[in-house]
Amino acid sequence: MAANLFPRWQTHKRVFRSAPSCLLEIRILQAESRILIAGRTRDETPRHSDEQERMTVSSWRARAGTTFQTEKRPATGSRGVVVTNHPLGSAAGSEMLLAGGNAIDATVASLFALSVVEPMMVGIFGAGFFNIRLANGQHHVIDGYSTAPAAATEDMYTPVADSGPDYLKSVGDLGSIGHLSVGVPGSLKSWCEALEKWGTMPLADVMAPAIRFATRGFQVREYLHDAIVQYSEIIGRFAETSATYMIGGEPLKTGDHIDRSDYARTLRAIAENGPDHLYNGPLGAIVCDYLARNGGIITMQDLAEYRTVERTPVRGTYRGYEIIGVPPPSAGGVHVIEMLNIL
């Protein structure tokens, strides 16, 4: 069984794991000072413009703005591999596999762990999609995206401009920052539903690593530090958030210890009571009361009526390989298939 939260990884896995490397590798021929597609001989190389001919490898690399050197050792596994953006996220998933769990158990454990160590990217009040392939070959997509509260109106945000890139920005940032910007969360429900349908381990066991990390705290990594610095002005507007991430008004530094014991208590309650602790229980009541006191509009009815949607994945091909992605409202699956077929 294999499970993925995002369609991009499934796409890359199918193409790069299965295809012969000679078809996919782009070789930079330094002696020729130009880029040739692997597999073509010099005589077969298409004619380039003078500007392309003058492009050296060094200038091309500089313009690419990326690193062309592996900074980490490859990870291998004989029975499974867990890949996340944080060592503790990967450790949580690996712990489930070592305990006899399957890919769904590992995925959900990693998500809960990431909500502790990378809260700017993953959270129980967020949203997302599951792209799942079962051992029997069946594919399932769970849409756990946020929905608008019932009280939302089409004119609740005023665009900064009528056109151009600023059209997506709202006056006062009401559509992106603060209590009125919050949608009805889908993450927690989708994680728990995926675990219930296709996992093998109890929710409490799957959440145990995340609770452990939150209880004892962990070291701030550079990515979290950079996010705190980047959004320090916004974080400073919210006292409780600032108390966690900006001690004494200063952003936590890389290597600092961060205490998330308050969140650990929330996770323990969810492990005991399930997602209803948010969608039909005391956590939801606390959240809705807080939002209402600060201009938000999500109600307990919004939470209670939230439903995930199981959707049919989009399918396409790339050089003979089948690509399976998440359909709209996610743009990922459609765009990946389209971009691959433009190559």
The one-digit pLDDT tens for each residue of the chain (343 residues) are 444 333 333 333 333 233 333 322 222 223 222 323 333 333 444 444 555 544 455 565 666 666 667 777 787 888 889 999 999 999 999 999 999 999 999 999 999 999 999 999 999 999 999 999 999 999 999 999 999 999 999 999 999 998 888 888 999 999 999 999 999 999 999 999 999 999 999 999 999 999 999 999 999 999 999 999 999 999 999 999 999 999 999 999 999 999 999 999 999 999 999 999 999 999 999 999 999 999 999 999 999 999 999 999 999 999 999 999 999 999 999 999 999 999 8
Residue 170 pairs in a beta bridge with 159
Residue ranges per structural domain of the chain: 1-39+81-147+185-216+306-343
**Model's pTM, two decimal places?**
0.79
pLDDT for the residue numbered 71? 72
149 neighbors 298 (Cβ within 8 angstroms):
yes
pLDDT for the residue numbered 343? 87
pLDDT for the residue numbered 112? 99
295 neighbors 182 (Cβ within 8 angstroms):
no
pLDDT for the residue numbered 75? 78
Q: Quote the tokens at residue 214.
A: 């939150």
**Crossing angle (nearest 10°) for helices 203-216 and 87-98:** 140
Report d(CA 139, CA 137) in Å as an integer: 7
Q: Quote the tokens at residue 241.
A: 């958030």
Report d(CA 305, CA 328) in Å as an integer: 21
End-to-end CA distance of the chain: 30
